[in-house]
Amino acid sequence: MSVNYRLAPENPFPAAYDDGFRALTWVKQKALSGDNELWSRQCNFSSIFLVGDSAGANIAHNVALTFSNSAKLRLFGLKGTILIQPFFGGEVRTSSEKLMVQLPRSVLSLAASDAYWRLSLPSGANRDHPWYNPVTKGLTIMDGFSELPVMMYKTSTIMSLNRTYLT
């Protein structure tokens, strides 16, 4: 299932997280209702993984974290996350950001990354908010979830923070 979430700046975070959580809750309700639609007959609801790339990986992480903190919902078959180049950041520049060389035809420059954060941050928040920088509050791999890959590009500006997330 792919979730079409609301985008910033019109809908700053947590709108996208709320959309992801609502979608996962809907899947849970379908699983428990014994829904007999074709797609649900093909699903293994006891083994669900959230997958995301870039901003989607950030959303997958935060939806899984919210889901894992709900005892009632935790009984559902959410097993873990697969994060591809999770778009995390922070106020302090990481070594990979400091050493970044802009690749030809790359749309993600440091200036663009900073602009994306400014457009999506809730009013009054900075880039060390746990939604954006899970390392600040120690919110890394979640208890009870499978240890799954976090995939990173070798020349990424966010590679250093992603490595810290994994430790």
The pLDDT assigned to 113 comes to 82
CA distances (Å), origin 42, targets 35, 47, 68, 141? 11, 12, 25, 29
Average pLDDT across the chain, whole number: 78
Give the number of other Cβ atoms within 10 Å of residue 159's Cβ.
19
Predicted local distance difference test score (pLDDT) of residue 83: 84
**pLDDT tens for residues 53-108?**
888 999 998 888 887 776 655 556 777 888 888 888 888 888 777 777 777 777 77
Peptide bond into 9 cis (omega under 30): yes
pLDDT at 146: 58
Quote the pLDDT of residue 45.
Answer: 80
Asked whether the predicted pLDDT for residue 161 surpasses 70, the reply is no
Tens of pLDDT, residue by residue over 10-43, are: 998 899 999 999 998 888 888 888 777 777 778 8
What was the pLDDT predicted at 73?
57
Q: How far is CA 131 from the centre of its chain?
A: 9
Domains (ranges, CATH) in the chain? 15-166 (3.40.50.1820)
